[in-house]
Amino acid sequence: MKNPGADILFYSDTLSSFDYGAGHPFKPARAKYFYELLNRFSLINEPGQMVLAPRKIDEELLLSFHTPEYIELLKRCDRGEYDLDMLRAGIGTGDNPVIRGMFEYSLLASGATHQGAMMLLENEARFVFNPHGGFHHAGMDTAEGFCYINDIAIAITSLLSHGKKVAYVDLDAHHGNGVQDAFYSDRRALTISLHETGKSLYPWTGFENETGTGEGEGFNVNLPFSPGTDDETYLDSFHRIVPPLITAFAPDVIFIEVGGDAHMDDPLTHMNLTSAAYKDSLGALKELCPRIIATGGGGYNVHKTAALWALAWATLCGIKPVDAFAGLVGGMMYGPEAQMGTLDDPPYSAAAADKKECRADAERVAEFIEKNIFPLHGIRAAS
């Protein structure tokens, strides 16, 4: 029997300790809390799992997506230099500050994502998770949305150059604009982003009529949701649109960006999902392809994001979390008392009036995709 490959986690205390500066909402320490939860819930060091330390990406690979001029600016930024050219490239703003060590940090974070993708290619891995990756907003010559190097675009480009078809599914509350732009005219990558509508949230894009161009027409899919959307509405749309498209596309690899910021407790967004929406959608994706790579992404409630990633890891590895500390007096480490012993949230359903509005919007988007994109993939809508 062929070795199905291992479940690989990339983890680094050094990357978890990186600091965007006091007051910046992006906290790399989420990865550390996540790793601690894996230990607490007996989700790591199981047979078939491996934890690897990220290694720096080969700088040449950065140029498969970014311009040489932009990379030069990042290197200067890394030395603590600053000038107006950087500002034009989005570096040195409140969102994307000049930080000493940022380039080195990005080389390691993107190195893990790229190495993970190559391990899938070589059949050394079945599932890879890099909580330090997922910088889906970075453009070819711009930093934006806390993202400097687009590790996702680089890793997918490498998979495509090895003849693989990749389905990209972005669960972050923000539209995955950098990845959309990277593959907008490319039919070898099917990009699907589920997010809060650009009417109310950065990056103000990701509408359903952004469907790809030229050869890539119909291979870029956006599911924008209204503020306040809950699990039920979200999952109805997910199941109606995502599995049929991925099944028809038949990818060699699914790449998932698991931003934790679509959770109802996130301070920067307005989606109202619970852990159930993440678990259900990730469980469905697992059934669609034997090779999966996932990264972190957004998530500004650090402990909630850590819990969502632990659930994502468990779901995609196919193992059940067991709280080693449950029942121990004084054993609580994180979160409210009520969440002791479980990574799952209590159920939540939006109030009837809000739900009706969110549902009508989601319905309209799903109908648009069924009418305009499904036929390009030879899919007949179920409804």
As a residue count, the chain comes to 383
Q: Which of 139, 218, 259, 296 binds Zn ion (CB under 5 A)?
A: 259
Q: How far apart are CA 289 and CA 168, in angstroms?
A: 12
Specify the residue, 132 or 174, whose C-beta has the smaller distance to Zn ion: 174
**Contacts with 378 (C-beta within 8 Å, 6 or more apart), sequence order:** 248
| 137 catalytic residue (yes or no) | yes
According to DSSP, residue 294 is labeled E
Which x/- pattern over 4-43 shows residues binding Zn ion (rule: CB under 5 A)?
Answer: ----------------------------------------
Please state whether beta strands 125-130 and 292-295 pair in parallel, antiparallel, or not at all (unpaired): parallel
**Would you give the end-to-end CA distance of the chain in angstroms?**
41
Site for Zn ion in 108-167 (CB under 5 A): none
Phi-psi region of 21 (alpha: psi -120 to 50; beta: other; left: phi over 0): left
Q: Kindly state the smallest distance separating residue 95's Cβ from Zn ion, in Å.
A: 12
Specify the residue, 78 or 95, whose C-beta has the smaller distance to Zn ion: 95
Segment near Zn ion (CB under 5 A); pick from 86-94, 99-107, 116-124, 261-269 = 261-269
Site for Zn ion in 170-189 (CB under 5 A): 172-174
Q: Kindly state the smallest distance separating residue 175's Cβ from Zn ion, in Å.
A: 9
Specify the residue, 244 or 298, whose C-beta has the smaller distance to Zn ion: 298
Specify the residue, 175 or 359, whose C-beta has the smaller distance to Zn ion: 175
| Residue from 66, 114, 136, 137 carrying the catalytic annotation | 137
Site for Zn ion in 283-322 (CB under 5 A): 298
Specify the residue, 173 or 189, whose C-beta has the smaller distance to Zn ion: 173
| Residue ranges with strand state E in 65-165 | 125-130
Number of Cβ within 10 Å of residue 283's Cβ equals 12
Q: Kindly state the smallest distance separating residue 25's Cβ from Zn ion, in Å.
A: 10
Q: Which residue is nearest to Zn ion (CB)?
A: 298
Residue 173 CA to its chain's centroid (Å): 9
According to DSSP, residue 50 is labeled E
Q: Which residues of 9-27 are buried (b: 16+ CB within 10 A; e: fewer)?
A: bbbbeebbebebeeeebbb
Q: Kindly state the smallest distance separating residue 60's Cβ from Zn ion, in Å.
A: 29
Q: Kindly state the smallest distance separating residue 222's Cβ from Zn ion, in Å.
A: 15
Q: How far apart are CA 159 and CA 149, in angstroms?
A: 17
| Interface positions with Zn ion (CB under 5 A) | 172-174, 259, 261, 298
Residues designated as active site: 137
